[in-house]
Structure 1
Amino acid sequence: MLRGLDIRDMLIIDRLELTFQPGLNVLTGETGAGKSILLDALGFVLGWRGRAELVRQGAQQGEVTAWFDLPAGHSARAILEDAGIEAEEELILRRVNTSDGRKTAWVNDRRVSGEVLRRLSDTLIELHGQHDDRGLLNPRGHRQMLDAYAGHDDVLQKVGGAWRALSAAQQALQEAEAKVAEVRTEEAFLRHAVDELDALAPEPGEEATLDTQRRLMQGAEKIRADIDRAAEALGLQGAEGLITDAFRWLQGVADRAESQLDAPLDALERVMLAMDEAQDGVARCRDALTFNPSELETVEERLFAIRGLARKHDVLPDDLSAFADELRDRLAVLDNSTGALDGLRDAVQQRQGEYDSAAQVLSQRRQAAAKALDKAMASELAPLKMERAVFATICTSAPPGPGGMDEVAFTVATNPGAPAGPLNKIASGGELSRFLLALKVCLTQAGGGITMIFDEIDRGVGGATAAAVGRRLADIAENGQVLVVTHSPQVAARGGHHWRVEKRQSKTATTSTVIALDEGDRIDEIARMLSGDTITDAARAAASALMKA
C-alpha cells in the first residue's frame, strides 16, 4: 500500500508531500493543473520510462521519494532478497534526476538499478488508463490474468514441473545423441588406437624401468672386465685365500699366545663374513650383466614403442594405460548407444505424455475460467451502459512452454454482429475506460493486495454511467487502495479521501500543489466540477446529495 509521496523540484512542483490512505483516494483539479505530473513523478521513482526532462527549471536536481507498507509475505520481499536488501515493514524508494540527465536510485538507503525499481513496481502499483500498455491492455499479460482469476495455481505448478522434467529429458537425449555422433565420426581412429594400445599393454612406470635396463645393458661391456677382475681379487686366488691362510696360521698358534691373538682372530672372522657378502654381491651383479645381445634389442624396441605412442597421443608414457581406458569408455558409448538412446527416448516420450496430460487439464481449466470471466464481464458491463457490447476471452493454441499450450486474448465487440478485436483497437476512449474498469472489477474479485491507479478512466462518460463507474471504483477500493485521477463529480463523490491539484502562478514561476480537502472543501470542489467556476448553492446541494448517495 502506498503511504506517501515526497516530490522536490520536478517539472512545476517545487516541494510537495502527500500522505495516502487505504480505500478510494481521489485527485481532482482543473485541466492543466498538474494531475498528470503526480503520476509522472510516481512513475519516475518506480523506474518507469517516461518524460526525458523532469527536473524543474533552474534546479540542480529533482528528487522523488515514495514509501509503502510491506506486510509479511508480500511478493516484493523476494525481489529485495534477490537484490541483497533486507526487507522491513516499510519500503522506501528514492530516485534523483540531475539537470544533466543522470538518474540514481535507492531502496531502503541501498543504491539499486532502475531494473530493480521496475521489478518492485510490478508488485506495488498497477496503472490503468486509456494509454496504459503495462496492464490490462497488454496482451502478453492476459493469460496470467486469466490464471489469477481461475485460481488454479496447483495445475500451473504441475504443468511447470512437467515442462522442466520434459526439458531435462530432452536435454539429456540431445547431449547423448551429440556424444554418439561425435564418437561415430572418430570410430575408426578409436578402434585402431585401442587395438594398438591393447597390443602393447603399457604399464605405469614401465618406461622408467625399461630405460634403466637399457642404460645398464649399454654400459655392461665397459664395466664387466673390472667386475671380473674384482671377483678374481676377492676369490681364493686373491684376498679370500690370503685371509683364509692368515686365519689358519694364527689359529694354529693362538693357544700358545696367551689370548693375545683372540681379538685379531675375531676381526679376521668378521672380515671373512664380509668377504662372503661382497663376493655374493659381485656375483649377482655379474649375473645381471650377463645377457643375450638380443635382449637389449627387445628392451629398446619396447621402450621406443611406448615413447612413440606417448608422442602420438600427446600424453606422458605413464598415462598411456589410463588413456587407453578413456578411449575404451568412448567406444563403449558407441557400442552401448542403441540401448542407452532407446532408454532416453522412452524417457522423453514418457515426460512428453505427462506434460501433454497436465497441459490439457490446464487448457480445460482456462476454457472454463474464460467462460466464467465472460459471464462476469457481461454482468459488469450492463450497469456501465454497455449492455450491447460483447466481451470474449479467446483461448487459442500456442507453442508449448512452462505455462502450458494456450494463448489468451481479451477481445471486445462494441455492438452485436460487429467483429471482435483487441480492447485498444475496437473500443473508443469512453468505451475503453469502462471495459477496463469492468475487467478490473472482475479480476480483483480473485485477489488484490496491490495499489491501483486509474488515470481519468471515467473520461467520456457522465450521469448514471459515471455514477456506476464511481461505485465500481469504490467497490475495488473497499479492501485495498485505489488512486483515481478524475474530472467526474460522480466519481469524486465516492472518494474516501480527496485532494485538489492546483496550479499557482507568480511573476517569476508557475508551480503545482496539492491540497487535502475536508468535508466542506470537498463539497465546494465537487460543486465546481458540477457547475464550473461559479459555485452556486444549487451546485453545493447537488454535490452534497452526490456524496450521500
Structure 2
Amino acid sequence: MLRGLDISDMLIIDRLELGFQPGLNVLTGETGAGKSILLDSLGFVLGWRGRADLVRQGAEQGEVTAWFDLPPGHPAHRVLEEAGLPGGDELILRRINTSDGRKTSWVNDRRCSGEVLRALSDTLVELHGQHDDRGLLNPRGHRAILDDFAGNAAALARTRSAWAALSAARKAAERAARERAEIAAEEEFLRHAVTELDKLDPQEGEEAALDTRRRLMQSAEKIRADVVNAYEIMGQNGAERALGDALRWLDGAAARAEGALEAPMAALNRAMVELDEAMSGVADAIDGMSFNPLELEETEERLFAIRALARKHDVAPDDLAGFAETLRAKLDALDAGEAAQADLEKAVRDAEAAYAAAAEALSAARATAARKLDKAVTAELAPLKMERAVFETRIEPEDPGPEGHDAVSFTVATNPGAPAGPLGKIASGGELSRFLLALKVCLTQGQSGLTLIFDEIDRGVGGATADAVGRRLSALAADGQVLVVTHSPQVAALGAHHWRVAKAVNKGMTTSTVVPLSPPERVDEVARMLSGDQVTDAARAAAEALLAG
C-alpha cells in the first residue's frame, strides 16, 4: 500500500511530504485548492499519461517520490524481477520532469522506463472516478475484469495454448497447400525436365573431361604424322640402329684401347636405355592418338548437349545432376502431397476441436461468474439507495481469438423497464459513482495490497445516500487502503485519516498545502463542508454527530 508521497515544484505545489495509513484516507478542501493536483502528481510518478505542463512556474524541474510497502507474494515483485530491478519489502518510485519536458524515472534508485512504472502501477494503485477511462468504464477491459473475478487464469491459459496450436496448424496447412499448388502449376515442366535430364544423365566433371578429350582428338590429326616420323627415326631404322652399330664397333676395339673406351661405352649403354624409354612413351602417345573418327562427333554432340541443357536451366554444367535431384524431389513432394495435406488438414480439425472445447469451458466459467457478479453487485446497490437499479454482465459471441470467443460488457438500467446500456453512458454522475463503488466492492473481495483511489466518486449524492457511499468505502478499506477525494461531509466523517487541501497566496505566488487534521480540526473541516464559509455552532454540532458515527 501507499505509505508516502513527496512532491516538489509541481504546478502550484512548492513542497509537500505526505504520509498515508491503512484504512480510509480522506482528502477534503474547497474547489480549486489542489486536490486534483495531488492525483496528477501521483499519476506522474506512476507513469500514467496525463497533462504535460506539470512543472511549477519558475522552477527548473518538478519531482515526485512515492513509496509503497510490498508484502511477500505481491505481484509487483514479478514486475521488478522481469525488469531486472532490485526488490525488497519497500518500493520507492521517483520521477523528475524538467521544464523542457524531459522525464527521468527511478525504481529503488535504479533508472527505468515509463513502461516499467506503468506496469508497476497496475499492481499498486487503481483510480476510480467519473472520468476513469483506464478501468471499469473502459469496455475493452471488462472481459479481463470478469476473468479476474472468476479466477479464470488456468482456463485462459488453456484457451491461449489451444489457440496458439490451432494457429500453428492452420499456418502449416496453408503453407503446404500453397507450396503444393505452386509445384502443381509447373508439374508439366518438371516432368519434362526430369525426363530430359534423366535421359542425358550428366555427371559431375563430365563436361570438363569431354572438352579435354575433344580438343585432344581435334589436334591429334595434325600432330600424329610428326609423332610417327619421330618414332621411326628413333627406331631400328634410325637412332636405335645407329647407336647399336656404334656400340658394337667400340666393343670390338675396346680390348686394344687400354680402357680408354669404357666410359664412352657406358654412356652409350645409358643412352640406349633412355632411348628405349622415349620410344615407349612416344608409342603410348601414338596409341592415344588413335581414335574412331565417329568418336569426335559423338564427344562433341554430348558436350554440346550438356552445355545447352545447363544454359536452358541457368545452372553450371557440373550442377545439372544436383538440379535433377531437386526437380525430382519436387515431383516426389507433389506425388506424396495429397496424403501429407490430408494429415495437415486433420491436424487443423483436431486443433479446432481442442480450441472449441477450451473456449466453451471458458465461456461456461464466465457465464457462471457473470451471474455471481450480477447478484453481488445488486446486493451492494441496495445500501447505496439504488435498489431499483439493474446491473447485468452481458456476454455475447465475437470472433474467436486467444482469449476465447466472448465479448463482455457491463450494462446498467437505472430503473426497472428502462433500457439497459453501457455503464458509462446510461448512469448519471451520482448513479455512476455508486455503480462503480458497488462493482469495485464486489471485485476486490479477497484482494489485498492494492491502493484504491476514488476521485469525487460521491459527486451528485448527499444525505443518506452519501452516508451509504461512505460506509461502503469504509468497508472496502477495512482490509486495505482507500484514498478518497471528497466534497461530502458524510464521507469525510467516516475516514480513519483526514487531510485538508488548502490554497494560499504569498508574495504573489499561489501554493497548495496539505495538512493532517487533528480531531478538533476535523470537526471544523466537516462543519465547513456542511455550512460553507460561515461555520456555525449548529454546523459544529452536526459535524460532531457525524464523526461520532
Taking structure 1 as the reference length, the TM-score comes to 0.90
Match of 2:184 in 1: 184
Match of 2:87 in 1: 88
Q: CA deviation at 1:203?
A: 1.8
Matched residue SS, 2:482: strand
The 8 Å contact of residues 63 and 96 in structure 1, kept in 2 or not, is answered as yes
Match of 1:447 in 2: 447
* CA distance in structure 2 between the partners assigned to 1:321 and 1:164 by the alignment: 42
Match of 2:393 in 1: 393
Moved more, 8-17 or 271-280: 271-280
- The amino acid of 1:56's aligned partner reads R
* CA distance in structure 1 between the partners assigned to 2:439 and 2:6 by the alignment: 32
Match of 1:141 in 2: 141
Moved more, 422-431 or 327-336: 327-336
Matched residue SS, 2:424: helix
Q: Per the alignment, do residues 256 and 79 of structure 1 end up closer, same or farther by CA in structure 2, a change over 3 Å counting?
A: farther
Q: CA deviation at 1:148?
A: 0.6
Q: CA deviation at 1:434?
A: 0.7
Aligned residue runs from structure 1 range 120-139, under 5 A? 120-139=120-139
Task: Give a deviation string over 1:128-158, Cα, whole Å, max 9, x none.
Answer: 1011111001111111111111112111111
Q: CA deviation at 1:52?
A: 4.1
The 8 Å contact of residues 105 and 114 in structure 2, kept in 1 or not, is answered as no
Task: Give a deviation string over 1:395-429, Cα, whole Å, max 9, x none.
Answer: 11111111111111111111111111111111111
Q: CA deviation at 1:288?
A: 2.0
Matched residue SS, 2:195: helix
Task: Give a deviation string over 1:337-359, Cα, whole Å, max 9, x none.
Answer: 21111111111011101111111
Match of 1:426 in 2: 426
Instruction: Determine what percentage of the aligned residue pairs are the same residue.
Output: 67
* CA distance in structure 2 between the partners assigned to 1:280 and 1:217 by the alignment: 21
Match of 1:474 in 2: 474
Q: Per the alignment, do residues 21 and 270 of structure 1 end up closer, same or farther by CA in structure 2, a change over 3 Å counting?
A: farther
The 8 Å contact of residues 85 and 110 in structure 2, kept in 1 or not, is answered as no
Q: CA deviation at 1:77?
A: 5.3
1:529 aligns with 2:529: yes
Match of 2:105 in 1: 106
Match of 2:325 in 1: 325
- The amino acid of 2:105's aligned partner reads W
1:175 aligns with 2:175: yes
Match of 1:502 in 2: 502
Q: CA deviation at 1:509?
A: 1.6
Q: CA deviation at 1:48?
A: 3.0
Q: Per the alignment, do residues 505 and 292 of structure 1 end up closer, same or farther by CA in structure 2, a change over 3 Å counting?
A: same
The 8 Å contact of residues 411 and 423 in structure 2, kept in 1 or not, is answered as yes
Match of 1:27 in 2: 27
Aligned residue runs from structure 1 range 33-44, under 5 A? 33-44=33-44
Moved more, 250-259 or 17-26: 250-259
Moved more, 236-245 or 125-134: 236-245
- The amino acid of 2:450's aligned partner reads I
* CA distance in structure 1 between the partners assigned to 2:450 and 2:482 by the alignment: 9
* CA distance in structure 1 between the partners assigned to 2:77 and 2:226 by the alignment: 90
* CA distance in structure 2 between the partners assigned to 1:110 and 1:216 by the alignment: 81
Q: CA deviation at 1:194?
A: 2.1
Match of 2:304 in 1: 304
Matched residue SS, 1:405: strand
The 8 Å contact of residues 16 and 514 in structure 1, kept in 2 or not, is answered as yes
Moved more, 420-429 or 36-45: 36-45
Matched residue SS, 2:386: coil
* CA distance in structure 1 between the partners assigned to 2:334 and 2:139 by the alignment: 49
1:14 aligns with 2:14: yes
* CA distance in structure 2 between the partners assigned to 1:484 and 1:263 by the alignment: 129
1:201 aligns with 2:201: yes
Unaligned runs of 5+ in 2: none
* CA distance in structure 2 between the partners assigned to 1:23 and 1:461 by the alignment: 23
Q: CA deviation at 1:327?
A: 1.9
Match of 1:279 in 2: 279
* CA distance in structure 2 between the partners assigned to 1:180 and 1:535 by the alignment: 87
Q: CA deviation at 1:41?
A: 2.2
- The amino acid of 1:279's aligned partner reads M
* CA distance in structure 2 between the partners assigned to 1:446 and 1:142 by the alignment: 19
Matched residue SS, 2:527: helix
Q: CA deviation at 1:502?
A: 0.8
Match of 2:457 in 1: 457
* CA distance in structure 2 between the partners assigned to 1:162 and 1:66 by the alignment: 41
Match of 2:366 in 1: 366
Unaligned runs of 5+ in 1: none
* CA distance in structure 2 between the partners assigned to 1:141 and 1:254 by the alignment: 124
Match of 2:436 in 1: 436
The 8 Å contact of residues 64 and 95 in structure 2, kept in 1 or not, is answered as yes
Q: CA deviation at 1:438?
A: 0.7
* CA distance in structure 2 between the partners assigned to 1:57 and 1:378 by the alignment: 48
Q: Tell me the C-alpha RMSD between the 2 structures.
A: 3.0
1:416 aligns with 2:434: no
Match of 2:291 in 1: 291
* CA distance in structure 2 between the partners assigned to 1:484 and 1:535 by the alignment: 23
Q: CA deviation at 1:470?
A: 2.3
* CA distance in structure 1 between the partners assigned to 2:547 and 2:277 by the alignment: 124
- The amino acid of 1:385's aligned partner reads K
* CA distance in structure 2 between the partners assigned to 1:2 and 1:314 by the alignment: 73
Task: Give a deviation string over 1:249-278, Cα, whole Å, max 9, x none.
Answer: 777888999999888777766655554444
Q: CA deviation at 1:535?
A: 4.2
The 8 Å contact of residues 243 and 272 in structure 1, kept in 2 or not, is answered as yes
Moved more, 236-245 or 416-425: 236-245
- The amino acid of 1:379's aligned partner reads A
* CA distance in structure 1 between the partners assigned to 2:41 and 2:267 by the alignment: 111
Moved more, 20-29 or 34-43: 20-29
Q: CA deviation at 1:515?
A: 1.5
Q: Per the alignment, do residues 255 and 522 of structure 1 end up closer, same or farther by CA in structure 2, a change over 3 Å counting?
A: farther
Moved more, 445-454 or 416-425: 445-454
* CA distance in structure 1 between the partners assigned to 2:86 and 2:388 by the alignment: 49
- The amino acid of 1:227's aligned partner reads V
* CA distance in structure 1 between the partners assigned to 2:517 and 2:277 by the alignment: 119
Q: Per the alignment, do residues 276 and 425 of structure 1 end up closer, same or farther by CA in structure 2, a change over 3 Å counting?
A: same
Q: Per the alignment, do residues 449 and 298 of structure 1 end up closer, same or farther by CA in structure 2, a change over 3 Å counting?
A: farther
Q: Per the alignment, do residues 290 and 10 of structure 1 end up closer, same or farther by CA in structure 2, a change over 3 Å counting?
A: same
* CA distance in structure 2 between the partners assigned to 1:202 and 1:119 by the alignment: 65
Q: Per the alignment, do residues 248 and 469 of structure 1 end up closer, same or farther by CA in structure 2, a change over 3 Å counting?
A: farther
- The amino acid of 1:58's aligned partner reads G
* CA distance in structure 2 between the partners assigned to 1:368 and 1:546 by the alignment: 41
Matched residue SS, 2:367: helix
The 8 Å contact of residues 79 and 120 in structure 2, kept in 1 or not, is answered as yes
The 8 Å contact of residues 151 and 446 in structure 1, kept in 2 or not, is answered as no
Q: CA deviation at 1:445?
A: 1.4
Taking structure 2 as the reference length, the TM-score comes to 0.90
Moved more, 476-485 or 350-359: 476-485
Q: Per the alignment, do residues 407 and 241 of structure 1 end up closer, same or farther by CA in structure 2, a change over 3 Å counting?
A: same
Aligned residue runs from structure 1 range 172-251, under 5 A? 172-243=172-243
* CA distance in structure 1 between the partners assigned to 2:452 and 2:253 by the alignment: 128
* CA distance in structure 2 between the partners assigned to 1:476 and 1:452 by the alignment: 9
